[in-house]
Chains A and B, each alone.
Chain A
Amino acid sequence: MDKKNVRNFSIIAHIDHGKSTLADKLILATGGLQKREMKEQVLDNMELERERGITIKAQTVRLSYKDAAGNPYIFNMIDTPGHVDFSYEVSRSLAACEGALLIVDATQGIQAQTIANLNLALKINLTIIPVINKIDLPSANPEAIKEQLEDILQIEAGGAILTSAKQGIGIDELLQAIADQIPPPEGDSEKPLSALLFDAWYDAYKGVIVLVKIVEGTMRVGDPIYLMAADKTYQVEELGAFTPAQIKLDVLQAGDVGYVVAGIKELGQTKIGDTITNAKRKTPQPLQGYKEVNPMVFSGLYPISGEQYELLRDALKKLMLNDASFTYEAETSTALGFGFRCGFLGLLHMEIVRERLEREYHVELLTTAPTVVYKIVTTDGETILIDNPSKLKDIKNIEHLEEPYVRGTVVAPEEYIGTIMSLALERRGLQTKMEYLNPQTVMLQYDLPFNEIVLDFYDRLKSATKGYASFDYEFLDFRSSSLVKLDILLNGELVDALSLIIHKDKAYYQGRALAKSLKEQIPQQMFEVAIQAAIGAKVVARETVKALRKNVLAKCYGGDITRKRKLLEKQKAGKKKMKQIGSVEIPQEAFLAVLRTDGK
């Protein structure tokens, strides 16, 4: 088909504003799937995505559309992940498009993610079609939303499409607007190949499948291709597109979006944002904007029983085939033994990985509290990144420490301004912007230490604002900070897996909170357990779990000894699940104690 009739677009929205539902309706309306084939939210196809109702992996669908005048089009619709953990994937997906549908819930209006995602789209000059969704709801107020779009986001909203994805209202109009307003892709099919790799996943039968947007040139089955950042050469075995059913194609040309199978065995070699060119006729210049995605949140994963170590290692290896954005590396903890330090894009990503390890690979895991990456600048001017607080002790001649900062955007009803400000202040936030979206809604921006928000900032924000506030963030930079290492000692023994790095002004308070939380989670044992929180040699908090002095000693009645033994064996099995540190038994949950200290 002529490139002039191709439209590449994404749908961007705040979570729950109806992106997946709308995508379903577009597929249905263009006949991509018959009604009886539709499961709700067909694009969310990972089991976990369906359960959690979120989109983790971006999906791309090619739709055939005929407009009212009978002109045929091909629409490549790229669904983007909806969580900030995966924002790099969002921007790469957007880079494959010429336009974006910006969906806003007609009852909720602009939210933090609306702003964040729109900014990503505007940075690369996409044509935006505003879509006001959920107009079927009684409280829908499309006119007010239009005003917001114009006033705050400076988007021409007179022509915003009003839809109800749920009831199928406005879908035809939206399809026509896509054809009319989004520009066709540019690019020259005759030039050397230059294709943007914007998604990849592992398929058990075909190996790695990558999604590409052909920016220039042509790709054919049998072509030798070269992945520029990965510095690897492969041969194209199969080309095609998803409608969403998989169809094979012989060629992909400038402007096209499709998938490539090229005998790639490891997902690690397909880096999102990489440029694919023809190995025999290379493009002189890779596409712009590729950057290595680095995990931002780290946590130790340890098998509960040492026998599962190999199993865990294999599972991590396999999982990596499927998820190149997470990393792992063997580590040893004096407290926990052999395990792995794993890096994630964020907390959600970490939970997803952990759940998959437990669910799909049946590894029983102990997880240590997540930490961000810190930067150490030594007196020699060297910089070292550490992903585990306990590594701090190995580094001599520290000049200063730096911690990662993010720009956080909060959108909330204005009556919560005070609450939000004090929460942000508590978290060492620096306000950089405050703007009214309308007389009732305010947008606040902060520079915040990532460490302060990674665990529970959003939860706290939501509960402080009765669920009304929305939040999103993007990474800024590393900034110098007065950080100290807070250690936990149990009966005098340092438990490395419980150490954390924290701002010095908060160390004392956090030390006390942590000791208290541990006291609640460590059960009474035959010996007294002394819990100490210390900064260097200075003990800042002390708690004691008193020794258990007495059991309730039942009689062995009528000789039913089996029952008594089974009872003890059951208790013993419970004990075995705990980690033994010195003579102290610690339940797994205790290693996440830091998550359970209220506030900070």
Chain B
Amino acid sequence: MNSLGIYIHIPYCLHKCGYCDFNSHVAREKEMPDYVSALLKEMEIASNEMDIDSEIVSIFLGGGTPTTLPLELLEKILIRSRQIFPLVPDCEITFEANPASASLEKLSGLRRIGYNRISIGVQSFQANELVTLDRIHSPDEAVTAINWARQAGFDNLSIDLMFALTDQTPETWNNTLNKALALAPEHLSTYNLMIEPGTAFYGLQKNGKLKLPEDEQQLYYFQESIRQLTQAGYQHYEISNFAKPGRECRHNKIYWNNGNTFGFGAGAARYLNGQRSKNINLPSDYIRQIMQNGDATESTECLQTLDAMGETLMLGLRMLEGVNIPQFENRFKVSFHSHYQEVLKKLSRENFIKLTEDRLALTTKGLYLADSVIMEFMN
């Protein structure tokens, strides 16, 4: 059996956050039905071309903010998915939600239709931090949304938090972590704020109007999340992700294992049969192209073996369990130890990696410098 994940992109948000460089656009209600029609058309075409022996183990509605879509449209997407794709019985079906566009009614509806995992973008439980982050919800609204999710029957719930924010202090981060823990989510992500070119924050930072904590401080926040969350019984299973046993995000693990995924919607990326491709970003372009040609691919690349190897390590090393060496060798037909001999020697000497017979993983020190370490393995 060939296990696949499906990613569906909902490119709308009520408001563009200052740090956001995702493919998100102002929510245009009039466009939404057309967008979903295009989405369903794209999915149908893909399902017709899909290998017979495939099964879908996860669906992930990301964004943007999927909860900006009206319930009927979200319902339509899932119903149609079930009709045209072979979902496994315990298929993980996640959607991302923003506290500002959630309601008890909508969440209940979604749960009823069959969505079984919710990922809520909280980011911080400090009112001032949310303001500087340019988020449009308050800490209270976030708590309320989480309570609604529970009431609606979601027993697999994830919270996103962010550190390295302007005005953040050890106390506020500690407080945010505690508040999150008090809500007992099954899963938590703590992301390091990253200033991407082209965002509003990027401009502010360049003009000296955005001051972020020093590197050492940022590292401290990261270490604190690891310390507190693992102490509270969460497993630190990926650089930024923590889960109660058995509650790791199945969808993201497909990415990290460099597995196959469909990607539908504006700007969505997919990886099928060694080929990565990505759709055009602008929703209106996407709709037009799908309706006209049944395809909105903007770019495609066929990976050379060396690139694919680098990529597999780039993704795999993000997980604390690391990369399975025999599987890697099997997939790429190389001897891992001899191919990476030099790098492995250098990195283990300085204690950035742990290397055993069949696994390569980052040490804690290596984890903090994951990009630098990973870069050593790239072409």
Contact = CB atoms under 8 A, between A and B. Distances in A.
Interface string B364-375: 000011111111
Contacts of A553: 192, 239-240, 370-371
Contact of B194 (A525, A526, A548, A552): A552
Interface stretch (A60-68, A177-185, A496-504, A560-568): A560-568
Interface in B309-323: 310-311, 314-315, 318
B80 interface: no
A549 B216 contact: yes
A556 B370 contact: no
Contacts of A525: 372
B7 A583 contact: no
Nearest to B238: A555
B347 to A, nearest CB: 9
Given A562-B301, A568-B375, A549 B219 contact: yes
B239 A558 contact: no
Contacts of A555: 189, 191, 240
A561 B263 contact: no
Interface residues of A, number: 26
Interface stretch (A302-310, A377-385, A506-514, A569-577): A569-577
Contacts of A526: 350, 352, 369, 372-373
A564 B314 CA distance: 9
Contact of B378 (A549, A559, A562, A572): A572
A556 B259 CA distance: 14
Given A553-B370, A558-B23, A558-B269, 15 more contacts: A548-B369, A550-B219, A551-B371, A552-B193, A556-B255, A557-B22, A558-B9, A561-B311, A561-B315, A565-B307, A565-B314, A568-B371, A569-B378, A572-B378, A572-B379
Given A551-B372, A552-B194, A564-B314, A558 B240 contact: no
Interface of B: 7, 9, 22-23, 62, 164, 189, 191-194, 215-216, 218-219, 222, 239-240, 255-256, 258, 261, 263, 267-271, 276, 278, 299, 301, 307, 310-311, 314-315, 318, 346, 350, 352, 368-375, 378-379
Nearest to A569: B378
Contacts of A552: 164, 192-194, 218
A305 B307 CA distance: 22
Contact of A575 (B219, B278, B301, B375): B375
Nearest to B239: A553
Contact of B276 (A527, A551, A556, A562): A562
Contacts of A554: 192, 194
B194 A560 contact: no
A527 B263 contact: no
Nearest to B160: A555
Contacts of A548: 369, 372
Contacts of A550: 215, 218-219, 222, 368-369
30 contacts: A525-B372, A526-B350, A548-B372, A549-B215, A549-B216, A549-B219, A549-B368, A550-B218, A550-B368, A551-B368, A551-B370, A551-B372, A552-B193, A553-B370, A554-B194, A556-B315, A557-B62, A558-B7, A558-B22, A559-B261, A559-B263, A560-B267, A560-B269, A561-B258, A561-B311, A562-B301, A568-B314, A569-B310, A575-B375, A583-B346
Contact of A565 (B219, B311, B350, B372): B311
Contacts of A561: 255, 258, 269, 271, 276, 311, 314-315
A560 B271 CA distance: 9
B215 A565 contact: no
B263 A558 contact: yes
Interface of A: 525-527, 548-562, 564-565, 568-569, 571-572, 575, 583
B270 A559 contact: yes
A136 to B, nearest CB: 46
Contact of B369 (A549, A562, A565, A583): A549
B73 to A, nearest CB: 19
A551 B369 contact: yes
A548 B271 CA distance: 33
Contacts of A575: 375
B278 A562 contact: yes
Q: Give the 5 A-B residue pairs with the shortest CB-CB distance, closest first.
A: A551-B371, A550-B219, A560-B269, A550-B368, A554-B194
Contacts of A564: 314
Contacts of B278: 560, 562
Contacts of B9: 558
A559 B256 CA distance: 9
Interface-central residue, B219, B258, B314, by most chain A CB under 10 Å? B314
Nearest to A562: B276
A558 B268 contact: yes
A549 B222 CA distance: 12
Given A526-B350, A565-B310, A575-B375, A559 B369 contact: no
Contacts of B315: 556, 561
A562 B375 contact: no
